[in-house]
Amino acid sequence: MEAKPEGNILQSWKFNPTTIENMTIPIEYLGRDDERIMKECEYMKRHCLSVPKNLGEKAVTASIKLEILDRDYQISRKKGEIFLPLFRKPTQEETRRLRSELTAFKLTEELFKREPKQKSTVRQILKEMVPPKLLEEIPKSMPTVGDIAIIEISNELSSYDKQIGKAILMANPSLKTVLKKAGSVHGTHRIRDFEIIAGESRTVTIHREYGCILNVDLSKVYFNPRLAYERNRVSRLVEKRETILDMFAGVGPFSIQIARRNETIKIFAVDINPVAIEYLNRNIEENRMKDRIVAIEGDVENIVQQRFEGKIDRVLMNLPGNSVRYIGTACKALKRRGGKIHYYQFAEGSDALEVAEQTFKRAVEKAGRKLEGITTIRRVTATAPREWQIGIDARVS
Ligand SMILES: C[S@@+](CC[C@H](N)C(=O)[O-])C[C@H]1O[C@@H](n2cnc3c(N)ncnc32)[C@H](O)[C@@H]1O
């Protein structure tokens, strides 16, 4: 038996984790206060299986087989001995089985250092439930809107969708709901169907981007969190006292980011979806933008004809599936001396940028305007393999 150290073991070791690392302290050396300090230092008394160093591997295997190895604590070594933390004291039967596998061992109680808490990934949580080949198909990342995660689940994986949803919530405690995509974005309002697979039964949330508050109901309005950077980029291009038309405003993410950065501008934000306009009005109010943004419900073609011909400095056209149809309307809205257009469209293949540029140029010319120049053209986001949402910033006179 080892000699008991003189005095208080804590005083002699001064509780320096670098000293204590890889050592175990017999529990009987500790007083109650010492134990409290030990806890705070992340050392805990656990049942222990100790073996000579050469039996270390065998002891780990045996304790895993018996399901008694406590992986929340670190295995330690001292003077040729290995110390394994255990969940509990082994039963008589378990002790008998240890004896049959290990020629020498001791069962004691020792102090062990906690394993640093590691964040589990969704795939790690599902490792035991989902076959390895299917596990690979679970997306490593997914968009989140406020406290809602949105996931696309393949047909092969669909029988595991509830477990996947739960695992997403476990791995991301700040999320409250998981929605599974149940179809593509469709219709004039550009809405997607979702199935709630885990968490609270709701599709309404509050999303925050670049300091803006955006109330959204994902089942009733379009919203894409992946465009946050694009919206911010555009907001930086706006100049003082501009009059802006957001032709397809949705709940207002472009308008609100622009208005937040530019106090002297006026934005007319149009959408044909009445629910989007409801949320847009709420977002205007909550972001205190009533003096800068006016929400207008209706078809932008009519709205421009009725109110905005020749009145606008800058037009936003985020309707990538169909905005080509409205280039003529955007041109009509621009002031006589011209202005800026931010145009978006889907395009695929290696010549996606050229296709978008030519499409835009032809439509501007058809509208009787001149394309002065394209200041930037880029792939804003991937929408499918080899397909992108292309963004064009253009000067039109
Ligand atoms: C792709 S979403 C973009 C929404 C928003 N700009 C954003 O980034 O989240 C297109 C929006 O255009 C609206 N929309 C479609 N056709 C329209 C039209 N003719 N006039 C006005 N809005 C329209 C839809 O209701 C939808 O909210």
Asked if residue 247 belongs to a domain, the reply is yes
DSSP 298: S
The answer on 34 and 131 residing in a single domain is no
Domain end: 84, 113, 142, which one? 113
189 lines ligand 1 (CB under 6 A): yes
* Cα 206 to averaged position of ligand 1 atoms, centre (Å): 19
Confirm or reject: Cβ of 9 under 6 Å from ligand 1. no
The continuous run of DSSP H or E covering 38 comes out as helix 32-40
Q: Is the CB of 268 under 6 A from ligand 1?
A: no
Indicate whether 2 belongs to any domain: no
- Distance (Å) from CA 181 to ligand 1 centroid: 20
**φ/ψ of residue 222, rounded to 5:** -85, 140
Q: Could you tell which of 222, 303, 325 is best to mutate to test the pocket of ligand 1, judged by most ligand atoms within 8 Å of the CB?
A: 222
- Which CATH number do you get for residue 62? 3.30.70.2580
Which pLDDT does position 173 carry in this prediction?
87
Domain assignment of residue 268, yes or no: yes
Distance from the alpha carbon of residue 252 to the mean position of ligand 1, in angstroms: 10
* 143 lies in some domain: yes
Residue 270 CA: nearest ligand 1 atom is 21
Q: Give how many domains the chain has, as a whole number.
A: 3
pLDDT tens-digit map of 188-245: 999 999 999 999 999 999 999 999 999 999 999 999 999 999 999 999 999 999 999 9
Question: What ligand 1 atom has the least distance to the C-alpha of 326?
Answer: 19
Check: CB of residue 297 under 8 Å from CB of residue 277.
yes
Look at strands 371-384 and 293-297 and give their pairing: unpaired
Q: How far is the CA of 346 from the centre of ligand 1 (A)?
A: 15
Asked if residue 217 is part of any domain, the answer here is no
Please give the model's pTM, rounded to 2 decimal places.
Answer: 0.73
- The answer, yes or no, to whether any atom of ligand 1 lies below 6 A from the CB of 271, is yes
And the tokens for 245?
A: 């038309």
- For residue 11, the CA-to-ligand 1 centroid distance in Å is 69
Ligand 1 in reach of 269 Cβ (< 6 A): no
Q: Is 98 in the same domain as 173? A: no
140: domain CATH number is 3.30.300.110
Give, for ligand 1, the residue of 257, 271, 301, 324 to mutate: max count of ligand atoms closer than 8 Å to Cβ. Answer: 271
Tokens of 218: 């994902």
Q: Are residues 96 and 129 in the same domain?
A: no
pLDDT lower than 70: segments of the chain: 1-41, 117-119
pLDDT value at residue 124: 87
Best of 272, 305, 317 for a ligand 1 pocket test (most atoms within 8 Å of beta carbon): 272
Domain that holds residue 372: 223-396
For residues 379-395, one letter each, b for 16 or more C-beta atoms within 10 angstroms of the residue's C-beta and e for the rest, the string is ebeebeeeebbbbbbbe
Q: Is 223 in the pocket of ligand 1 (CB under 6 A)?
A: yes
Q: Name the region of 192 (left: φ>0; alpha: ψ -120 to 50; beta: rest).
A: beta
* Cβ–ligand 1 contact at 300 (below 6 Å): yes
| Residues 135 and 73 placed together within one structural domain of the fold | no
Residues 104, 152, single domain; the answer is: no
Q: In this structure, are 95 and 126 located in the same domain?
A: no
Report in angstroms the alpha-carbon separations of 305 from 154, 247, 269, 340, 352: 45, 13, 15, 19, 32
Residue-wise pLDDT tens digits, 339-388: 999 999 999 999 999 999 999 999 999 999 999 999 999 999 999 999 99
pLDDT at 118: 64
Calpha distance 167→172 (Å, rounded)? 8
Residues 195 and 284 in one domain: no
Q: Which residue has the least CA distance to atom 4 on ligand 1?
A: 250
* Cα–ligand 1 centroid distance for 286 (angstroms): 21
Same domain, yes or no: 184 and 244: no
**210 in a structural domain:** no
- Residues 315, 251: one domain? yes
> Which amino acid, 85?
P
- Please state, in angstroms and rounded to a whole number, the distance separating the CA atoms of residues 281 and 288: 10
pLDDT at 30: 43
CATH number of the CATH domain containing 270? 3.40.50.150
Q: How far is the CA of 352 from the centre of ligand 1 (A)?
A: 23
Please report whether residue 215 resides in a domain: no
Q: Give the end of a domain, one of 85, 113, 141.
A: 113
pLDDT at res. 193: 96
Residue nearest to atom 17 of ligand 1 (CA): 272
Q: Domain check: are 382 and 239 in the same one?
A: yes
Does 218 reside within a domain? no
Q: Which of 79, 113, 147 delimits the end of a domain?
A: 113
Residues 277 and 381 both lie in one domain: yes
Same domain flag for 71 and 166: no
DSSP run (H or E) holding 223 = none
pLDDT at 44: 83
